Structure 1
Amino acid sequence: MKTYKIAIAGFGGVGRATAGLLLSRRTRYREVYQADVLLVAVCGSRSGLADAEGLEEEQLDTLEDGLSGPDFIADSGADILIEAGPSDFRTGGPGLVYIRSALSAGRDAVVISKGALVHSGKELRELARETGAMLKLSGAAAAALPTIDLVEHSLKGCEVLEVEGILNATTNYLLDAMMTRGIGFDEALREAQIGGFAEADPRNDTEGWDTACKLLILANFGLGADLAMDDLTVEGIQSVSAERIDAWRGQGLVPKLVGRLSRVNGATRAQVGIRTYPLADPFANIRGKDKAIRIVTDAMGATLAIGSGKEPLATAAAALKDLEHILVARMG
């Protein structure tokens, strides 16, 4: 039985959920992959904990100050990094230094935060190729909603012609509440914030940037494009008025914030904005915090996937799906 040592950088809600789920699945890893999976280190921005023999869940309630940073992760002896920190696509931080350090040393990386992948995706892909490390990112590309997986596995061998996705749960909830219950944007947002699934500063969601990040990751990592944020047209939902809602309702249309990719003559174009759908379209019936993606290919036609996992467990499960892909690849 081979031993795999795991470190988690970023220990907020998602990092803790990932740690708990990983520890609960150790028997599965032994039985299915003949792998003894140990969680040897966790850290947040200023504190952490490490044990070469493996941490248990009851130890994770109290981290030690000063144990943090890429050197701390490297010193833990981890084989695989799971990066689950905050996301800033404008700087790549704080995850970029962790991911860069891991890939440079040949450690496989499972990435959950989007910022580093958007900011320095090309560099990270090249680092992984140079060192032979695996770079997995299901958790960053809409998490419980399969996006990268569809392109890399289910639709492999096809040419992707078009992608459209409802990729942000918060904006879908807001638009759905405004359409079905007639409340305004501000009231819907307060409701989402009280419910704990909208950020205190929701602009990355409501202005379309979160959707744009996921779209870029899918384009660059899934479809081999080389797009930057400046290549996208990005519009959000913050200016949606009651009058526009009433007009759409009267026309029998349902608005969604959608990220869209199209491929024409080998060029990939991307945009984020509000699109409206008639009631007969499946996208019109993606309700509340659900997400969806529709991929049109040359040979298999259109494929539709809908995700409705509860956070942060759904994102943790997506990251550990990536871990299992790594275990399969490393079994030989």
Structure 2
Amino acid sequence: MRECRVAIAGFGGVGRAVAEMLLSRRERYRQFYRTEVSLVAACGSRSGISDRAGLGWESLNSFETGASGPDFILASGADVLIEAGPSDFRTGGPGLAYIASALSAGMDAIVISKGALVHSGRHLRDLARASGARLKISGATAAALPTIDLLDYALRGCSILRIEGILNATTNHLLHAMSSGGMGFAEALAEAQDAGFAESDPRNDIEGWDTACKLLLLANFGLDADLTMEDVSVEGIQSISEARIAAWRAEGLVPKLVGRIWYEGGTARASVGVQALDQADPLAHVTDNNKAIRITTDFMGDVVAMGGGSGPTATAAAALKDLEHILADRLLAAERKD
């Protein structure tokens, strides 16, 4: 039985969901990957806990002040870091230091927050390549909706001509409420916040920045582009008036916040903005707080995926899917060596 020791940096709702799900799946990991997976460390911004023998769920309520930071994770003896902290694409923090430290030490990293990947994606990929560590990002690229997986696995061998996606659940919920429920923007936002669909500070969502971040990850990690936020034209939904909504409705059109990647002269381009879609477009039928992606290829045609949860549990499941890929890779490598 092989061993895999996991550390979690960032212990909010998503980090807790990762820990709970990981501990509940330990028998699965033994059965399918012949690996004893243990959680050896978890930390937030100021406190944490570690035990090389493995942590149980009860011990995760006993964090020690000061037990935090990249050195704390390295000292835990973890083989895999799951980074689930807050996200700031303008600075990369606080996840950047954790991820860079782990990759430099040869520790595989599963990243959920987008900020560090957007801010320093090329640098992190270089660190992973140099140390041989794996860098997985399913949780950062629309959570449970398969996006980067389609590029990495399902569409291998094809040339990607275009990507279009509804990648933010909050804005899709708001536009759906406005266009089908007859609400104004302020009313729809207040309702979404009361229901827990929207953050108390929803600017990254409604101004299009969250969608732009996910586009950059798909372009740079999935298509090996080298785009920055300055390369993306970004418009959100905050200025969409009731009059525009009514005019689109009268024409039978459905407004969606769509992120796009396409090529001009061999160079990747990207944009985020509201598009009024015809009812014949599959993306027009992505309702409420669902997401979708359409990838146009040279030989496989259009591939469309829709749905996928957006809450902490769905995001945690996406991250642990990455863990299973790592466990499968390790098992295969060990069998080849044997």
Instruction: State the TM-score bracket (shorter-chain normalisation).
Output: over 0.9
**Runs of 4+ displaced beyond 4 Å:** none
- How far the C-alpha of 1:310 sits from its partner, in A, is 4.8
For 1:198, the aligned partner's letter is: A
Identity %: 67
SS in 2 for 1:41: strand
- How far the C-alpha of 1:197 sits from its partner, in A, is 2.4
2:107/2:133 contact within 8 Å kept: yes
1:20 aligns with 2:8: no
- How far the C-alpha of 1:9 sits from its partner, in A, is 0.1
Match of 2:304 in 1: 304
Match of 1:222 in 2: 222
For 2:124, the aligned partner's letter is: L
Q: Cα deviation per residue 1:233-281 (whole Å; 9 max; x = unaligned)?
A: 0000000110000000000000000100002332101000001111122
Alignment partners' CA distance in 2, 1:233 and 1:161: 19
Aligned length, in residue pairs: 332
1:155 aligns with 2:155: yes
2:89/2:115 contact within 8 Å kept: yes
Alignment partners' CA distance in 2, 1:85 and 1:310: 16
SS in 2 for 1:49: strand
Match of 1:272 in 2: 272
1:289/1:308 contact within 8 Å kept: no
Match of 1:134 in 2: 134
Match of 2:183 in 1: 183
For 1:213, the aligned partner's letter is: C
Match of 1:193 in 2: 193
Match of 1:246 in 2: 246
Match of 1:282 in 2: 282
Which aligned pairs between 1:1-332 and structure 2 lie closer than 5 A?
1-331=1-331, 332=333
* Mean Cα deviation higher: 176-185 or 263-272: 263-272
SS in 1 for 2:170: helix
Alignment partners' CA distance in 1, 2:76 and 2:152: 32
For 2:317, the aligned partner's letter is: A
- How far the C-alpha of 1:30 sits from its partner, in A, is 0.2
5+ unaligned residues in a row in structure 1: which ranges?
A: none
Q: TM-score, normalised by structure 2?
A: 0.97
SS in 2 for 1:271: strand
* Mean Cα deviation higher: 257-266 or 294-303: 257-266
* Mean Cα deviation higher: 261-270 or 129-138: 261-270
2:104/2:128 contact within 8 Å kept: yes
SS in 2 for 1:32: helix
Instruction: Give the RMSD, CA atoms, in angstroms.
Output: 0.7
1:258/1:274 contact within 8 Å kept: yes
Alignment partners' CA distance in 2, 1:57 and 1:253: 49
5+ unaligned residues in a row in structure 2: which ranges?
A: 334-338
